[in-house]
């Protein structure tokens, strides 16, 4: 395949280039390359390394009525992603070398690379640590990149988190923390504030997240573990990450998600359970603080926390419905619409947050350069589109962005030299 006339993101900047792909890898990058085979005219389009999502829920095994690896990876490809890290809260929980091998087997033929994230504790029960050595060996035998460990959806008790981080410091693997203090969350449903009072539902204080972030930073500081803080939603949480980095704690990284910079808790009044998630949408003050933190370089990544649920599950109402929204097909456009168009980030900075940085954290090669895997996507940063149900590749429809006009349209995704999504 030869991609012609793209505005390509290469070595940190956009420049006009042709890109030749041979045997699944970047074979040549230059101008006016001679065509041969399948040529794609990318005039007016940007080319960038494929997006990498550190935080998705593919629901397989055990919950495939919500999503499965094939449908989730198809949604990922349509969103410009060439790799996703699949969280462990499946049924059964991915907590053993055998289950990691099974996820890798099931991922063969998927529309993007699927990196299993193993649980920190067996069954995510918070009682016993998993076999870290065995899980790492299984992942290394079958996946490009490293393996991370996370009990996402379930906070890990401090004693076990301490032991897990000591092991991380010894072996060099990444711990992805779900920062939440359950004693403060209680039976909360949405963010504690004016909206929860207005709707008469129990609230979740921002403090429940803030204290957990501070706790895990302190454990990582003490142990030297590689800690990645998931889905940061509060201004104080972002401040704690900033403070840690200012003190030189390079072993600590963090992510936020598009819904935390594009929506506040008032969205629950309009979208109901389709705007219910964990951590919840926060106040407008927190939303603005998250935007400022993204702009100031506090966060290393923007991840989706793609969390599909069947329509009948979200129809149970605000109190009983499960947490989460789908996000793979809207995240990049939300970044352009709310950050690039609002001059909070440059387009190149958005690519770093959604491709370059997460690739480094997950041990994946990244960049449009000779010899690298041909993982890239083409997009039109100026094309507006309305996100509609008929566009959705996921099995689920739980998104507050349906009917929303966004900017930045993915036109083609290539993973390992194979075209996994195309509309040009």
Q: What is the DSSP string of 59-127?
A: -TTT-TTT--HHHHHHHHHHTTEEEEEEPS-SSS-S-SHHHHHHHHHHTTT-SSEEEEPBPSBGGG-SS
- Helix-strand-coil split of the chain, %, nearest 5: 35, 25, 40
Cα–Cα nearest to 355, from 283, 303, 423: 303
Q: In whole angstroms, what separates CA 96 from the centre of its chain?
A: 23
Q: What is the DSSP string of 329-371?
A: TTHHHHHIIIIITTTSS-HHHHHIIIIIHHHHHTT---SS-TT
What does each C-alpha distance from 226 to 223, 269, 322 come to in angstroms?
9, 38, 30
What does each C-alpha distance from 389 to 164, 296, 379, 404 come to in angstroms?
41, 35, 21, 11
Say how far apart CA 330 and CA 76 lie, in whole Å. Answer: 10
The phi, psi pair for 346, rounded to 5°, reads: -85, 165
Say how far apart CA 52 and CA 84 lie, in whole Å. Answer: 6
Q: Which residues pair with 323 in a beta bridge?
A: none
Cα–Cα nearest to 301, from 243, 371, 254: 254
Q: In whole angstroms, what separates CA 338 from the centre of its chain?
A: 17
Say how far apart CA 107 and CA 306 lie, in whole Å. Answer: 17
Say how far apart CA 8 and CA 322 lie, in whole Å. Answer: 40
Tokens of 60: 């397989």
Q: What is the DSSP string of 201-243?
A: --EE-THHHHHHHHHHHHHHHHH--EEEE-----HHHHHHHHH
Please give the biggest Cα pair distance in the chain.
66
Cα–Cα nearest to 395, from 294, 316, 312: 312
Query: Are the C-beta atoms of 357 and 83 separated by less than 8 Å?
Result: no
Catalytic residues: 305
């Amino acid at each position: 395949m030869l991609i012609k006339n793209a505005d390509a993101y290469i070595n940190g900047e956009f420049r006009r280039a042709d890109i030749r792909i041979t045997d699944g890898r970047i074979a040549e990058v230059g101008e006016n390359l001679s065509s041969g085979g399948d040529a794609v005219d990318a005039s007016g389009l940007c080319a960038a390394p494929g997006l990498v999502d550190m935080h998705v829920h593919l629901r397989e095994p055990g919950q495939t009525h919500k999503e499965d690896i094939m449908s989730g990876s198809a949604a990922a490809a349509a969103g410009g992603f060439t790799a996703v890290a699949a969280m462990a809260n499946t049924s059964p929980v991915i907590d053993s070398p055998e289950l990691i091998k099974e996820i890798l087997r099931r991922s063969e033929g998927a529309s993007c690379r699927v990196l299993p994230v193993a649980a920190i504790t067996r069954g995510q029960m918070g009682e016993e640590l998993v076999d870290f050595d065995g899980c790492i060996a299984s992942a290394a035998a079958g996946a490009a990149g490293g393996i991370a460990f996370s009990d996402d959806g379930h906070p890990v008790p401090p004693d076990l988190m301490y032991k897990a981080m000591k092991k991380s410091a010894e072996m060099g693997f990444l711990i992805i923390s779900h920062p939440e203090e359950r004693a403060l969350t209680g039976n909360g449903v949405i963010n504690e504030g004016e909206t929860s009072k207005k709707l008469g539902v129990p609230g979740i204080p921002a403090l429940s997240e803030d204290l957990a972030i501070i706790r895990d930073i302190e454990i990582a500081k003490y142990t030297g573990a590689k800690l990645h803080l998931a889905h940061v939603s509060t201004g104080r949480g972002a401040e704690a990450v900033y403070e840690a980095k200012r003190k030189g704690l390079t072993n600590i990284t963090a992510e936020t998600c598009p819904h935390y910079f594009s929506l506040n808790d008032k969205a629950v009044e309009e979208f109901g359970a389709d705007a219910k998630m964990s951590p919840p949408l926060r106040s407008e003050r927190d939303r603005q603080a998250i935007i400022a933190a993204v702009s100031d370089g506090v966060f290393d990544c923007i991840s989706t926390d793609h969390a599909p649920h069947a329509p009948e599950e979200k129809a149970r109402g605000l109190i009983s419905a499960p947490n989460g929204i789908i996000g793979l097909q809207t995240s990049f456009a939300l970044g352009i619409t709310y950050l690039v168009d609002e001059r909070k980030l440059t387009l190149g900075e958005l690519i770093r947050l959604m491709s370059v940085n997460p690739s480094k954290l997950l041990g994946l090669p990244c960049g449009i350069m000779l010899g690298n895997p041909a993982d890239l996507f083409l997009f039109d940063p100026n094309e507006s589109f309305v996100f509609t149900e008929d566009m959705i590749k996921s099995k689920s429809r739980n998104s507050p962005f349906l009917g929303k006009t966004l900017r930045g349209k993915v036109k083609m995704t290539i993973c390992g030299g194979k075209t996994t999504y195309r509309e040009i």
